[in-house]
Structure formats: C-alpha cells, structure tokens
Amino acid sequence: MVDTKNTVKLQNGKNMPIFGLGTSQVSKHEARSAVRAALDAGYQQIDTAYNYLNEDAIGEVLQEYIKGGKVKREDLFIVTKLPMIHMDPKLVKRSIEMSLKNLQLQYVDLYLVHLPIPLAYDGNDENVFPTEASGALKVADKTDLIGTWKAVEELVDLGLTKSIGVSNFSISQLERICEIAKYKPVVNQVECNIYLQQKEMFDACKTLGITITAYAPLGSPGRNDLMKEQGESEGLEDPVIQRISHKYGKTPAQILLRFLIQKGTTVIPKSVNPERIRAR
C-alpha cells in the first residue's frame, strides 16, 4: 500500500505519493541508476512519459526490484503519459499498451494526456516530435480533446490504469473535459515553482477537485539560458530562498519543494544525482 502519511487523496479516492522522481531528459543509463537510488531511498512515485524514451530502462529496474522482493507493485505509484502523436482516439489503447510493455507492468497508477496539442502521426512510433520541412512541429489535422479523453476513460475500465489525468491543460480545457467526463481528471501536471505560482490554476483546480502536480518544481535550473541572460536568478539561488534555507538548516531545493507541498501539490523534481535524490 502507498504510505498514506506522505500522500494526497485524489478525487477518485486513490492516494498519490506527494514526492516523485522526475525523469524527463534522462537517458536510459541515467534512468536506471536514478530509479534505483529513488527506490532505495523509499520513493514510491516515478514520473515518466512515452516521449521521454526511457520507459523501458525504468521498467527493467521496476522488474528487478519487484521480482527481487525489494518493493511490492502495490506500494509503487507509476505515472506515464500519452504522447501527442497518439492522441487520435483510435491510437490511445495501443499507446498505453506500448508503455506498459516498456514498463513491464500490467497497469500504471496514473495515465496523463501529456499535452492538449495532437501532433501528426506518420506511422513511426519513435518520431515523437514530427516536424514540417520548416522545422516547426507538425500538428495533427484535427484536435479532438473530448474524443481523446473518452478513449483514455476506457483505459480505466480495461484495468490498464488506475487513474487518469492531464498535463499542460488550460483552465477552459479542464472545464470542457470535466463537463462531459465519466471519470474526471484527477491531476493536471503543470509547471509550477516560486516564479510561476499558477494562482488562477490553483483556484480552478480546487473548484474542479483536481490535484496539481508541479513539474519543474526547482525551476529547471540550467534549462533557461534566456532567463539568465535577462538577469533573472534561479530559484535555488534566490536570496530569499537562501535566507530561509540557512534559517531552517535545509537545502534550497528542500525549501522550494516544501513551498509547493504546503500549497497541496505533488512534486516531481528530476535528478540523476543519487545524493540529491536521497536528500529530499
């Protein structure tokens, strides 16, 4: 059972661990060692996505730990995401089956629609970001978020996922889905950190009963060169965060994460550094 002391209750009654390991832009090699470090440190939630192209490496480690008796499947909370190239309702079931095969699991705990923007599917499942000759992303001819959602709902009935949600959806998109939903999204995974506090999204999600998962909770240090060029500091270096971290004897990362957790979010900081993974 997921340890309920460190969970939030989702609107479908399931418990979601507050803390998870983020794995975007993590190579297969890095993913193996990061997931091992996280499981050894007691993490129950791992966040991945079909698009991250590392589900299979994560699956190897999950199998190793489950088969070796180090963890029980029911103690884990595995999250993965529907890629934009598979948002055509006809492709949704096959897509989660591909993810489950990669992850070597019978079901995931939470399946998210990764982005509300379907991309053109050209038959190549590895081409997750198809582009036009101009280099722009090649979007699908038709956007049918309701159709996609209906197909995702069927995955719950088929037992392929325990819960379903979305990611990067706007408030109006959430409202549209909730209006027609048989199963409402339990989570909207969005960027959220001290510099992007998402106040309106919090209010809307509270009304709709949706839990926010904060991605880039540390502000994705190192990602945004433009931000640095503009003279903006990163959250970890923010003078206020530095002051609070000295005052409480915590690392800046711990303060940034605590800020979000106190607002009721779940958090999925990414690290491939075992020491940082353990330090949460």
Ligand X SMILES: NC(=O)c1ccc[n+]([C@@H]2O[C@H](COP(=O)([O-])OP(=O)(O)OC[C@H]3O[C@@H](n4cnc5c(N)ncnc54)[C@H](OP(=O)(O)O)[C@@H]3O)[C@@H](O)[C@H]2O)c1
Interface with ligand X (CB under 6 A): 22-24, 47, 114, 167-168, 189, 215-222, 236, 251, 253, 268-273, 276
At 20 the three-state DSSP class reads strand
Nearer to ligand X, 69 or 145 (CB): 145
CA dihedral angle for residue 44, residue 95, residue 217, residue 237, rounded to 10 degrees = 110
Residue nearest to ligand X (CB): 22
Shortest Å distance, C-beta 22 to ligand X: 2
Nearer to ligand X, 10 or 219 (CB): 219
Nearer to ligand X, 123 or 239 (CB): 239
- Per DSSP, 76 falls in state -
Nearer to ligand X, 140 or 196 (CB): 196
Amino acid at 130: P
Q: 247: how many CB neighbours lie within 10 A of its CB? A: 9
Rounded-to-integer distance, Cα 277 and Cα 94, Å: 33
Rounded-to-integer distance, Cα 20 and Cα 213, Å: 10
Shortest Å distance, C-beta 133 to ligand X: 26
Structure tokens at 128: 């997750």
Structure tokens at 120: 């053109």
Structure tokens at 167: 């990611």
Shortest Å distance, C-beta 156 to ligand X: 20
Residue 87 near residue 141, CB atoms below 8 Å = no
Shortest Å distance, C-beta 60 to ligand X: 18
Residues annotated as catalytic (active site), given as ranges: 52
User: Closest Cα partner for 65 from 76, 77, 56?
Assistant: 76
